[in-house]
Amino acid sequence: MVIVHVSAECYPMAKAGGLGDVVGALPKYQNKLGDKAMVVMPMYQTPFLKENNWDVQYKGNTNLGNWFFDYTIIKESTGKLGYDLYLVDINGLLDRPKIYGYTDDIDRFIGFQVAVVNWLSHWGELPSIIHCHDHQAGLISFMMKYCYDYQRLKNVKTVLSIHNAQYQGAMGWDKSILIPRWDMNKKGLLEWNNCINSLAAGVKCVDKVTTVSPSYMQQLTVQSNGLELLFKNEQNKCVGILNGIDNEIWNPATDKMIPFHYDFNTVNEGKQKNKNVLCAKYNLDTNKPLVVFIGRLVAEKAADVLPGAIQHALDKTNLGVNFFIIGAGDTSIESALNYLVQLYPGHYNTFIGYDEKIGHEAYAAADFLLMPSRVEPCGLNQLYSLRYGTIPMVRDTGGLHDTVVDMGDAGGFGIKFLHANETDIVYSIERAIEVYKNKKQMKAMIQKAMKIDHSWESVIMAYKKVYQSIG
């Protein structure tokens, strides 16, 4: 099967969150298992672009409303990623340093999708599956089926994977002129709530919808930022498939980004050595349990609750624990978190920003990973943490519900709580401190955690079934 993934992110070319990790790994493992999978994404001005060599694959031209533009498709020249990576270069529109966050993002991603569909329509032999990810690729299926110029693509099967339905790419009808000449009778397929809604259009038009965990699939019918009814109606073509993780990148026995390697047998000593290094660097107490938070500092991840909960936990436990926060996001949350550094020297620190290496060091050093997310479609951090023998403390929602078993339940290896509030977080920290003191129980949990297999190989088969069901 020839599978073309269309996405706004793909690690290591450009990543803002878990979407990048997933799109960077899924095709690699699909290829290993015998299919021909590739990725097409926008050409941003990222370090990866500058540090690698690219071949020109195709030059084309099309228009975005009244603006006629040339685009170039370039391809990573060595194939070292394990899949072909194609970038769409549209001068002045996509070639910027950041992925998102510009006032013309709507135009940028429609431009990207138009160029992708235009390029596909020039392929000799067409691919078997176009696999779109999130709303930035949500209009592709509509364009393939209902734009007059792209009728050649109308029978190619399409899949949409939803990594986060909070973001939907909604826009006013004035933007409809940006979509290449389309069949006006199909207006209803673009519409949700009197707007053009890219994610809703994707859900309506594709052959199959996937979300990144089974529980999140269920949740979308009751909580999806306005699309609940749509997901209820379309349930029959939706399926939840839990993400995998790239075990080649996330392996404490070989990870080049961590100071000391360890495996299942050497985890106790290995983690302590990594913890000593991190604690020395960030002025933390290496003899107390270390709880880390790694993620975007936004309400969706309940980062707004962290400053109060951390203060409360440090006071209540008489500094019985350390916290280390890595992330960036809302400036008010960043400053509230930074403020605590002066109040709790020796037990609390932050790294405001995003840095892949510090993330890896923290997974290797920490005893616990805190994820109080309000919304978590899958969550990859808890999966990384399991692999590094770091006990996940998670709110019981979405993919966190599906991947963590509380230590009070049979076979448990984590800590789960119900609410994204201070009380539940502080109580969970107290539970963490207790179990940390019980060396035998802690060791047994760590070993259980490290044995859990979330590798991509098994996930690939689930996607293959989805493709076959529509193929």
Which residues form the interface with ligand GLC (CB under 6 A)? 17-19, 22, 163-164, 212, 243, 376-380, 399
**CB 160 to ligand GLC: min, Å:** 13
Say how far apart CA 435 and CA 69 lie, in whole Å: 61
Pick 62 or 211: Cβ nearer ligand GLC: 211
**CB 400 to ligand GLC: min, Å:** 9
**CB–CB of 442/272 below 8 Å?**
no
Pick 207 or 376: Cβ nearer ligand GLC: 376
Pick 62 or 382: Cβ nearer ligand GLC: 382
Pick 17 or 226: Cβ nearer ligand GLC: 17
Say how far apart CA 86 and CA 54 lie, in whole Å: 9
**Phi/psi of residue 208, nearest 5 degrees:** -150, 140
**CB 397 to ligand GLC: min, Å:** 10
Q: Which of 195, 11, 179 is nearest to 109 (CA)?
A: 179
**CB 427 to ligand GLC: min, Å:** 24
Whether omega before 12 lies within 30 degrees of 0, making that bond cis, reads: yes
Beta bridge partners of 3: 37, 129
Pick 89 or 376: Cβ nearer ligand GLC: 376
Residue 346 carries which DSSP code?
A: B
| Distant-in-sequence, close-in-space partners of 455: CB < 8 Å, separation ≥ 6 | 244, 245, 247
Q: Which of 361, 425, 436, 371 is nearest to 398 (CA)?
A: 371
| Distant-in-sequence, close-in-space partners of 217: CB < 8 Å, separation ≥ 6 | 211, 238, 239, 240
**CB 141 to ligand GLC: min, Å:** 19
**CB 301 to ligand GLC: min, Å:** 8
Which residue of this chain has its Cβ atom nearest to ligand GLC in the complex?
A: 18
Pick 305 or 313: Cβ nearer ligand GLC: 305
